[in-house]
Amino acid sequence: MQEDAFGTFQDNYVKGIFTVPTTFYFSVDDIKKTVTLDDTGCTVEEGKTVDEADCVCKTSAEMFSRIWNDGYRPGIMDFMGGAIKSNAPQLLQQFLQAFGK
């Protein structure tokens, strides 16, 4: 299911949210993806393709599904409790906006 979500990124990307190239590395259980967003579009690559992503997001498939499919918006306790680990939570909010979420 999460693999399917990554497959829809390019078609659902809303241009204009990210004006400079911004990289995201997602580790969702066994799925590892690098996503780059900029003013022209979205690219999704298998695995970690950058040394340091602008935003790293590590979470479970269950939490990813709640966020992507059910509209759940994580709160501070999700981050503090370790359900989601990220070096830049504010970029994750912007990421969701870039896909109309």
pLDDT tens, position by position, 49-62: 999 999 999 999 99
The CATH number covering residue 69 comes to 3.30.1050.10
What b/e string do you get for 10-31 counting C-beta neighbours within 10 Å, with b at 16 or more?
A: eeebeeebbeeebbbbbebeee
pTM > 0.75: yes
Total domains in the chain come to 1
What is the span of the domain harbouring residue 35?
A: 2-97
- Residue 1: the pLDDT is 46
List the strands of the sheet with 84-86, edge to edge.
42-46, 31-37, 22-28, 55-59, 84-86
Average pLDDT over residues 72-97: 94
Instruction: Supply the Cα-derived Rg of the chain in whole angstroms.
Output: 12
Residue 65, SS3 per DSSP: helix
Q: What is the pLDDT of residues 17-45, one digit of tens each?
A: 999 999 999 999 999 999 999 999 999 99
* Confidence tier at 5 by pLDDT (50, 70, 90): confident
**Mean pLDDT within 84-91:** 95
